[in-house]
Amino acid sequence: MPVSLSKPVAPSADKRWKIVDATMRRVGQHSRGLIETLHTVQEAFGYLDETALRYVALSLRVPLSRAYGVATFYHFFTLKPAGEHTCVICLGTACYIKGAPQLVDTVRRELGITPGETTEDGKVSVLSARCLGSCGLAPAVVYDNEVAGKVSPLQLKEQLSKWGRP
């Protein structure tokens, strides 16, 4: 492989790469900053695609396979774009014993997807969380970054159908 010592050029003129570059500078262009940088990429672009992984890996001199290995090890990172709306169902213990499984069932019935998937029309992504730490509000669901507590399957169904409408 030809080894280039010059700094790789950002994949496009997109301004968001400047934010990514800033993070990489902050971590001293060191391979140790890989996870920090991936956080920034995901925050800026919503997900980590191949272009981004390649750019970050080359910039920080991290082997490609290691970058990919790290990106897929941590469940917080996603390699696919998220849907228009996101619905995070908390599967912490308190939520589990207070009815989170029924919420997962509701999603499966209503949208035909399981946590970790996005509907085909790209409208809704459903995710599960290990624990939101909102155990006092079990079962908890996060609709587009808003935490809702003591959610019933009916409430969830209503929210999902609200998103489903054009």
Partner 1 sequence: MTASANVKTFQINGRDYSARAEETILEVARQNGIFIPRLCELEGLSTVGACRLCLVEVKGSNRLLASCVTRVEEGMEVTTNSERLERYRRGIVELLFTERNHVCSVCVSNGHCELQFLSQKLDITHIHYPYRFPKAEVDASHGRFVIDHNRCILCNRCVRVCDEIEGAHTWDVMGRGIDARVITDLNQPWGTSDTCTSCGKCVHVCPTGALFEKGRSVAEMEKRRNFLPYLQLMRGDQNG
Partner 2 sequence: MTREELEQIANTERQSQASTAQKLNVCVAAGCLSCQSQTVKEVLEKGVARRGLGERCAVKGVGCMGLCSEGALVSVDQNILYKRVLPADATDMLDALEAGRPPVERLVCPTNTPFFQRQKKIVLENSGVIDPERIEEYIAACGYTALVEALTELTPAEVIEQVTRSGLRGRGGAGYPTGLKWSTVAKAVGTQKFVICNADEGDPGAFMDRSVLESDPHRVLEGMLIAAYAVGASEGYIYVRAEYPLAIKRLKIAIRQAEKLGLLGSNICGTRFNFRVDLRLGAGAFVCGEETALIASIEGKRGAPRPRPPYPAMEGLLGEPTLINNVETFANIPPILRNGGEWFAAIGTEKSKGTKVFALAGRVQNTGLVEVPMGITLREMVFQIGGGVPDGKNFKAVQTGGPSGGCLPAECLDMPVDYESLARAGSIMGSGGMIIMDETSCMVDVAKYFMDFCMTESCGKCVPCRVGTYQMHRLLETITQLQAAPKDLALLEELCDLVKHTSLCGLGQSAPNPVLSTLRYFAEEYKAHIERNQCVAGVCGQEVHV
To the nearest whole angstrom, how small is the minimum distance from the Cβ of residue 161 to partner 2?
Answer: 21
Binding pattern to partner 2, positions 10-29, x when CB under 8 A?
--------------------
Q: State the residue for tokens 């992984």.
A: 53
Identify the CA nearest to 75 among candidates 23, 122, 38. Answer: 38
The nearer residue to partner 1, 3 or 13, going by C-beta atoms, is 3
Please report which residue ranges of 27-133 form alpha helices under DSSP H.
Answer: 34-45, 50-60, 64-73, 93-97, 100-111
Contact positions toward partner 1, by CB under 8 A?
A: 1, 50, 53-54, 63-69, 72-73
Residue found under tokens 């409408």: 165
Site residues, partner 2 (CB under 8 A): 30-36, 38-39, 62, 66, 69-70, 73-77, 91-94, 96-98, 100-102, 104-105, 129-138, 140, 146-149
